[in-house]
Each structure stands twice: as structure tokens, then as C-alpha cells.
A and B are shown apart, each in its own frame.
Chain A
Amino acid sequence: MLWVDKYRPKTLDQVMVHQEIAQNLKKLVTEQDCPHLLFYGPSGAGKKTLIMALLRQIFGTSAEKVKVENRNWKVDAGSRTIDLELTTLSSNNHVELTPSDAGFQDRYVVQEIIKEMAKNRPIDTKGKKGYKVLVLNEVDKLSREAQHSLRRTMEKYSASCRLILCCNSSSKVTEAIRSRCLNIRINAPSEEETVKVLEFIGKKENLQLPPGFAARIAEKSNRNLRRAILSFETCRVQQYPFENNQAIPPMDWEEYISEIATDIMKEQSPKRLFQVRGKVYELLINCIPPEIVLKRLLHELLKKLDAELKHEVCHWAAYYEHRMHLGQKAIFHIEAFVAKFMSIYKGFLIATFG
């Protein structure tokens, strides 16, 4: 088992970061019925950990007995029936799923599942707590229609089920949904907190940590706790005992993107653009989300760029990022950004060096 999973806090009391939020949540569910919840915050901040601990708080250990299923739904959509296949994770009391995996048919998923859950309402041994919890991941990636249908079903079935929504950016969730939920922002842990967690794990694993090593990992991981722990484990596999100047292995796709950035800086021509496209395809094949590719690419390019170009380049990156959301095929927009960058940079080089 990975350390990330092994040392994931099981209960709200064990939580090391966001302790205050954890206590509040505990109070919330012990005292009364909980409202719909919306957790948002950057990746690796601990949203999922808190949600799982919360479920355990509500339902006890039965919430941990989960099974993974590939479920098929037949949705009757007017004139035709739609077949949907989705992976769900469910226990007796909750169902977790990622509706955005269903692509543009996500709205059917949302409606259908909630309806189904509302139908077979569980009865507790004590005859209380007659509700199920539905955990929806990546709500911000839901299409607008799906969010609308979510809003409606939320109201309709609120007696029998609670929703816990989880997303990175609440700005992409419609106002209507946000107002129906208790919004809980989970901040990224600070570097000190990350270091604390790493040291805790190190102690549990009986590892000798050189001073400053955990801090370096924390710095590298960009305030992403999950990533910090993963890198920590990788370092452990790579070399133990740790050395103070041990290299922390970067993610392979990040290296690949920085390679692309170097390519772009070296030559600006349509031919090179075509090569870059091939490399971006590689990333996309491996399911690296295009937004992350673009963001990372910008990051790498900015590192090497003259200060006076930075503003313009950032502007175009933002422009094409927006386009990407509106559009359908990310590669069109990534490529347009790369082309724009090449064109700017080439002009700059000619102006500076003649």
C-alpha cells in the first residue's frame, strides 16, 4: 500500500492539517442532520481525506467497507435510450462517483443515480438516519446542463439523500448549487504543515531524516500534500539512508513538458511546431489533462523568458486556456498558444539580435 493511503487519517480526530475544519465537521454531524456540502480547494489539500473521515464519522466503520463496481445504466431520454457505463464506489450508506467521466452525457448520470438512491432508502437499525450520502467528484467539470439537473434533483430528493460535492474551483460551479450547499474551503497545506506530516510518516516508518530534507520535498511539491508524500516514498525507494543533497525525482510528464519548452525556445518554425504537436499528443495519450499541460508549459517557458515578454505570454496563455474550455479539442488551442509564443519569441529575437 502506498504511504499516501497508509497514513491517510481515518477519523476526523486523527487529521493533522485542517484540524479546525475537522472539528467543526464533527460538531456538525454529531449534533444534527448534515446539509449538502461542497468541498473545494486545490489538489492535494485533503478534501477527499476529510470527506472520507466525515463519512466514517456519520456511518461508523461500515463506510470503509466499499466495493468497486462498473455500473451500467440505461437512461430513457425521450426517443432513445442511452447506455452509460460508470465506475462507482459504494458502501451500504454511500455512493461515490465521478459523473464527468461520462462526458457530455453527465446530466443523465446525475439525475438517474440520485433518483435510484432516493428509491431505496436505507433504514438504520435504530430507525434513524434514513439517508444516503452521494459523493460526487469533479463537480466543476460537469457541464452546465448537468449542473442544472443536479440543482433540481438536489431539492427534490433532499429528504432521502445528502450530497457531498468535491471540486477544485468553486468558480466553475453554478451559483445555484453553491447556495444550496455548505461551502467548505480546504486550503493547500503550508510548507510547515507538509514538513510536519512528512516527519510524522518518517517516524512511523523508522526513517532517519537528514535536517532540511523534508523541507526540500515540501518545497518541490508545491504545497500539494499528496505529492509530497508520494515523492517522499519515491525517494525512499530510490535511496536509503537519505543524503542531504539527494535529488528529488521529478514527475516524468513534467520533465517531458520542460523538454518541449526547450524545443520551443531553440527553434521557432512550423516544422518545430509540428514536432511539438507530436509531443503534446504523447502527453494527452497518457491522460495528462490539457489544462495542466498548458499551465505547466507556460511555467516552464516563463522560467526561460525575458522579463519584458512575460506579460504578453501570460495573456495569451490565459486566452487560449479559456478557449480550451469553450472548445472541444484541446490540441487546437494548445497548439495555437505554442504558435503564438513562437511568433512572439521569434520577433523578439530578431528585434534584439538583428
Chain B
Amino acid sequence: MGKKNTVVISSSDDEDCGRPSRVKRSYEKPKSRSSFASTNPSRAKKPRISGSRSCVSKSLSNVDEIRLAFEDFNEVLNGFKVSSGSGKSNLKELWVDKYKPRSLQELAVHKKKVEEVKTWLEERLKTPKDRFNNCVLIITGQAGVGKSATVHVIASHIGAHLCEWNTPTPTIWQEHVHNSSAGINYTSKLDEFENFVERVRKYGLIWSSFPGERNSSIILVIDDLPVTTGRMAFERLKTCLVLLVRSTQVPTVIFVTDYGNEDSSDNTARWLEELQLSLQSAGASKVAFNPITTNAVKKTLTRICREEQYNVTAEHIDQIAKASGGDIRHAITSLQLSCLKPEQVLNMSLSDSAPSHTKEEANLYDGFSLPYGRDETLTLFHALGKFLHNKREAENVAALDQETFHVQEKFSRLPLKMDAPEKILCQAHGQARPIADFLHENVLDFLSDEAMDDAWSVTSYLSDADVLLASFRGMLARHNEAENILQSAGASVAVRGVLFGNSHPSPSRWHAIRKPKLWQIEQSSSRNQKEMIRRRYYACNISSLPEASVMATEYSPVLKWLGYRASCPKTHDLLMQGTDTQDENYEKMGIDDQESEISDDEIEDW
């Protein structure tokens, strides 16, 4: 095979199916046509499989067909181990694929969104091409909300072909070496994508890849935007897509996956947003998919359970649905996993039904106790917000319990309405030092005006945290483990201190979270210090090094009075005036830094 590992389902089963619509799973270039069709004994297998699931196969959509084709392939590989007699699904098959929605009714996506996409596509396909100046639809949404599924189902519903661009697999080094010795030049994946888009723009889709069906309509689907590293590559991708939006004649759907929860330091999310905006301004329409509602997920899960004849309690399904966070793919996989071990499911549902309702609810989001559930990531600000707002239960349920450890009135606090602070810290990937700084900067806003004692205990805990964080900086820095323990202990003290100390939170309202001013202060302080010592040399002729503290406390005020300022090479005002301009400078510096960082990142993609 060439360097492209594009998997092509070729039209080997055209004859025996004869269905009007068919999917090209991948856009393929004619020269790189790689075909395993010859080894695919689909004709031999087909009748058996469709026979075993005849009820379904009537409504088999093209999507399913692919799956079947793959199944065939699997069976070939596995040496026909699958016995056709098994009524239940074999476990080799993922439920996610098996229960891909085949009709509009099965889609868990909100009806209105589906309708929106459907009408858009129908309009584009039915009316003459030049009627619309925008032929591109962007669908956004987080992972697993059924973006692709929706389009696939709609396409099969209205009888259109989907032509997909799939990003070619990355070339690994050995492969590259092999290729170059064989005389094949390397092209970057972004180049390939650009070429593809160029072709589509100029010539439309190549009809030769759809033999015999020239009259049916085609939808181009771009599911996987090429990964771009660095600003320059991203700009190329953007211009390329904008051109596509402006000039294409083929209805095109572009999927953009939201990374709402990703780390804010990552540029990808920001770029994707930028990309969307520029595409929209170029005339593309956009449909945003929301996370799937718990009810819809539950409905789907229940349906699957029914079809698989597994007896899963409603409660359990409820749990899975809630833990999935609107990601239906994840929910289905979780369901399959928990069905693998029926006895475990039983245990869990038993243990869950026993305790009181509140406890169960607390368990729901506890990712540790469940074998499934997405480990949510949080942004730093989200975590800070949780700590600072300090939401607690209205009444202490645990306190009524006799077994709990009793503390004095003034030390007892209502239970937290959140996970353990350490877990949140872990999810937010918080570094101890910045967390402490951020808390210190912002916590006072969140205290009620009267609560001076609270303010003291909060600041006192922060001071403890600072001591903990500082103590590793000398000797221990070499011992990573000790450092880590101190770091996490420091962070934990800071966070818990803030949570515990703030016993009378001010009524919650919107607060902006500020960046610690301390960072600026430290910078400008050290700069001022250098400046001051320098000035001392020029202002007066001395034969001894002044200590910085003496300089600041004794010399500079006097120098100011004596009007030495005028003679200094660079005047700088003491106290109030000085800081503002410096802050500006630093902000500017900050921006510059960022820009230079970005430009440094620009590496030609390889």
C-alpha cells in the first residue's frame, strides 16, 4: 500500500444489496486506491448475517451497511469464530456502532436541531445551485453529542451520498524513511487537505468515484479538520476553509468539536472559535449542538437494554446517563461495560438503593466509586469559583448522625456542595503556588462585610500555606517527592483554609476573578530596587555599597526632598504615581511576550 492508509469500502456488495444510497467512508484519491475488497467474502457472509437479524436489516441504512462490511472483514480475520447462532450480540461488537441511530426517531439529538439541519440540507440539495451563496454548514458541539450521526441519518433519509474527508493517518518516521527511499515524496497532511479542498472548490466532487449514480445528490462532510500546530499552519487552514466557504458549489458540512472544558492555556480551543467566526463571516451557517439531555440518553440506553435483553435497573441507567455529561457515545460504552459483569451491576444497584436519598445523590457524581463516568476536567477559574463561592448544604445532615465525629460549635461547618477540594484541585491541574496567589487576591471579596474573624482565619491559613510552599525551595528542591507532598499539602491548606475560614460567605453575586496583583508587585519591586541602587551611584559619589533596605528607607526619601531626582538619568516617582504606568508597561510586556511566544511556536508542520 502507498503511504496513505485510507480504508476504502469499495463497491463489492453493490449487486446483492442494490440499495439506492451508499456511503463512501472516505474520500479517496484515485491513485491511492487501496482495496481489500478482493479479500472480502461479503457475498458469502452476507445472507447469514442479514438472516440472523432480518428484522433490522429491512431498515438498514447505509451506515449499518458499513458496519456489516466491517463485521465481515472482522470475521475473516478472526477465522470465522463467530457462531451465527448466538442470539445476543457478540461482545466483539461495540454497542456504539451497533446501535448507531438509523432513523430520525432514534436520534437522541433534540428534534429542533435535527429539523434545522435537515431543512438546510434539503434546501441546498433541491434548489438550483446558484440560489444560495452559502453552501457550508458548521455544526458545533462537544464530543459525543451526535453531530456526525445526525448528518449520516439525515443523508440516508433524504437519499444523498456523503462524501467524507478523513484525515489521513500520520506518517511515522520509519514509514517516511521507507517511502523516501522508494521515491515517494512526503506531503504534509495539511497540504493534502488543502489540495483536496482546492479540487472540490474548482471541479466539484469527482464523479468518477461514484460510478453509475451521476444523478443523485452529494453532501461533502469534513469531519476531521487537520491538526494545526502553530499560528502559521492555522492561518493556512483558515484561508483554505474560507475559500471553500466562499466558492464551493457542493453542500458541505463541517464538524467542529468544542473543547469547552479544555485547559485554557491550550490554543486549540481559541483557534477553533476564531475559525468558526471567520467562516461564519464568510457566509457559512452554523448550528450548535448542545449536550444531550439526561432524559434522551436514558431513553436510548433503555432501548438498547431492551434490545440486548439485559435487565438493568432504571436507577442504574439514570446514573450512567448523569455521569456521561451529555456524551451519548460515552454513555453507551459505559452501559456495555457494566453489562459485561451483570453481578456487579446487581451489587451496585443494591447498595445504591439502600442508603438515604441524599447520600445516593452525593455518590452520583463521585467518579471514584463508579466504574464509569468521565473524569471531568475543570478550568482553573472554575475551580477557584467553587472554592471562593463556598457553596454549602442548607442543613447538616451528617450532624444528626450519632456516629460522626463531634466538633465544637464554632469549628463545625455545613457539608460542602462539591467534591473534596483536593479532587477539584486535581481536576483543575492546579499548581499550588498560583492557586494560593489567586485565592489570596480574591478571597476578601467573598467575605461578608462583618466577618472580621473569618478574614483573619482565612488569611492565617493562607499564611500557613505560604510557609509550607516556601519551605521546599532550598534543600528539598532536589527531592521531587518531598516537594510534591509539600506542594499538595500547601495547596490543600490554602484551599481548605479558605473554605473553612469563610463561615459567613457574602450573598453570592457576580465577582470578577482578578489576576493576582502580587505578581506585578514583585516584578516592579525588583525592578525598582535595581533602579534605586543604580541611581545611588549616579546621584552621589560614594565609596561603599548601600544596602537596599537602607536605600529605600533612608536615602530615597531624603534624595527626593533634596531634589536629586532631576539629576538622575531616569526619574521615577515614589509611591502612588509610580505604579500605574509600570502596570501598563507590564501589561504591554505581557502581551508582547505572548506574541513572541506564538511566533516562536510557528514550526513548519512536518
Contacts and interface: CB of A to CB of B under 8 A. Distances in A.
Interface of A: 1-2, 5, 43-44, 48, 51-52, 64, 66, 68, 87-89, 96-98, 101, 104, 135, 137-138, 143-145, 224, 226-227, 230-231, 233-234, 237-238, 249, 251-253, 256, 268-271, 273-274, 277, 281-282, 284-289, 292, 320, 323, 326-329, 331-333, 335-336, 338-340, 342-343, 346-347
A87 B554 contact: no
A286 B578 contact: yes
Contacts of B582: 285
B499 to A, nearest CB: 16
Chain A CB within 10 A, most for which of B447, B470, B475: B470
Contacts of A346: 452
B455 A234 contact: no
A333 B553 contact: no
B549 A333 contact: no
Nearest to B441: A277
8 contacts: A43-B549, A44-B550, A234-B562, A249-B561, A270-B454, A323-B466, A335-B463, A343-B455
A233 B474 CA distance: 44
Given A98-B545, A343-B452, 11 more contacts: A1-B540, A2-B555, A137-B545, A269-B450, A270-B451, A281-B579, A282-B576, A284-B525, A323-B463, A331-B521, A343-B453
Contacts of B465: 332
A332 B462 CA distance: 7
A145 B518 contact: no
Given A252-B574, A323-B467, A339-B460, A289 B552 contact: yes
B544 A89 contact: yes
A238 B561 contact: yes
Interface stretch (B36-44, B178-186, B355-363, B526-534): B526-534
A101 B548 contact: yes
B469 interface: yes
Contacts of B437: 329
Contact of B463 (A135, A284, A336): A336
A287 B450 contact: no
A277 B451 CA distance: 17
A96 B551 CA distance: 16
Contacts of B86: none
Given A234-B561, A234-B562, A336-B459, A292 B444 contact: no
B548 A342 contact: no
A44 B555 CA distance: 12
Contacts of A66: 543
B460 A340 contact: yes
A231 B111 CA distance: 82
Contact of A339 (B450, B452, B563): B452
B543 A52 contact: yes
B545 A87 contact: yes
A290 B139 CA distance: 56
Nearest to A269: B449
Given A226-B554, A270-B451, A332-B466, A144 B545 contact: no
Contact of B558 (A44, A233, A336): A233
Contact of B557 (A224, A251, A284): A251
A21 B309 CA distance: 100
Contact of B452 (A101, A135, A289, A342): A342
Contacts of A340: 456, 459-460
A256 B575 contact: yes
A326 B547 contact: no
Given A230-B558, A233-B562, A98 B518 contact: no
Contacts of B540: 1-2, 5
Contacts of A338: 459
Interface in B479-538: 517-518, 521, 524-525, 528-529, 532-533, 537
B105 interface: no
5 shortest A-B CB distances, which residue pairs?
Answer: A328-B470, A287-B552, A339-B456, A336-B459, A270-B447
Contacts of B475: 145
Contacts of B452: 268-270, 339, 342-343, 346
B544 A270 contact: no
B81 interface: no
A327 B525 contact: no
Contacts of A143: 474
Contacts of A274: 444-445
B574 A336 contact: no
Nearest to B440: A332
Contacts of A335: 440, 459, 462-463
B470 A226 contact: no
Interface in B360-410: none
Contact of B537 (A68, A234, A320, A323): A68
